[in-house]
Chains A and B, each alone.
Chain A
Amino acid sequence: DAGVTQSPTHLIKTRGQQVTLRCSPKSGHDTVSWYQQALGQGPQFIFQYYEEEERQRGNFPDRFSGHQFPNYSSELNVNALLLGDSALYLCASSWAGTGIYEQYFGPGTRLTVT
């Protein structure tokens, strides 16, 4: 049973550019959440997708956007990159039907903005 997968593993971008990160949820999961983890800090919630719609959003600017596809995979897009966007981006999946809401994390994408 494949767990949560993310691509790419590492990414280097220049300020002002745009980036797309991808996530495939664990088999059987229908909800995808994205988190940003700056170096030495705990993850911060960006947003969550369920049934192809953004269901919740954290305190992140509109430069951060996302999408969920019919197969439940998801993308995180960041426009007009800033140096402060350098972080580990984690994707987590869960199944809305469990009533327990355990989230399973992928290995993350390390984004470096220069």
Chain B
Amino acid sequence: AQTVTQSQPEMSVQEAETVTLSCTYDTSESNYYLFWYKQPPSRQMILVIRQEAYKQQNATENRFSVNFQKAAKSFSLKISDSQLGDTAMYFCAFMKATSGSRLTFGEGTQLTVNP
């Protein structure tokens, strides 16, 4: 079974600054995907970024980037130039790369961006 751990229940950052959210996971699988999802107060779960385990290059989507350390089973999310709209709960999630796979989520990190 896979487990995902987010050790930071809450974080805050000033607008325009950079913040890093941590995530570690445990799996015996060799081929999998990792995701960061954002859940604002509206409750809609929104995909922020995806990383394929077979890719060594870290994924980047505009102001969002990840630091994927496969050997350490670590998958952190860096948000640059933080904006007020980034305030949300952020979930790290794991998925095996086999057909019909499920997402396994961490407990979440509540990020607050202060003006």
Q: Which positions in A face B, CB cutoff 8 Å? A: 31, 33, 35, 40-45, 48, 50, 55-56, 58, 88, 90, 92, 96, 100-108, 110
Contact = CB atoms under 8 A, between A and B. Distances in A.
B99 A96 contact: yes
Given A43-B45, A101-B95, A107-B44, A48 B100 contact: yes
Contacts of A106: 44
A23 to B, nearest CB: 13
B50 A45 contact: no
12 contacts: A35-B103, A40-B108, A41-B108, A43-B91, A50-B100, A55-B100, A56-B102, A92-B103, A96-B99, A96-B100, A102-B47, A106-B44
B101 interface: yes
B43 interface: yes
Given A101-B97, A107-B42, A43 B47 contact: no
The size bracket of the interface on B is 20 to 34
Contacts, number: 60
A42 B50 contact: no
The CB with the most chain B CB atoms within 10 A, among A45, A58, A103, is that of: A103
Contacts of A92: 45, 103
Contact of B45 (A58, A100, A105): A105
Contacts of A105: 37, 44-46
B50 A102 contact: yes
A110 B112 CA distance: 24
B91 A48 contact: no
Contacts of B104: 45
The CB with the most chain A CB atoms within 10 A, among B33, B44, B102, B103, is that of: B102
B102 A45 contact: yes
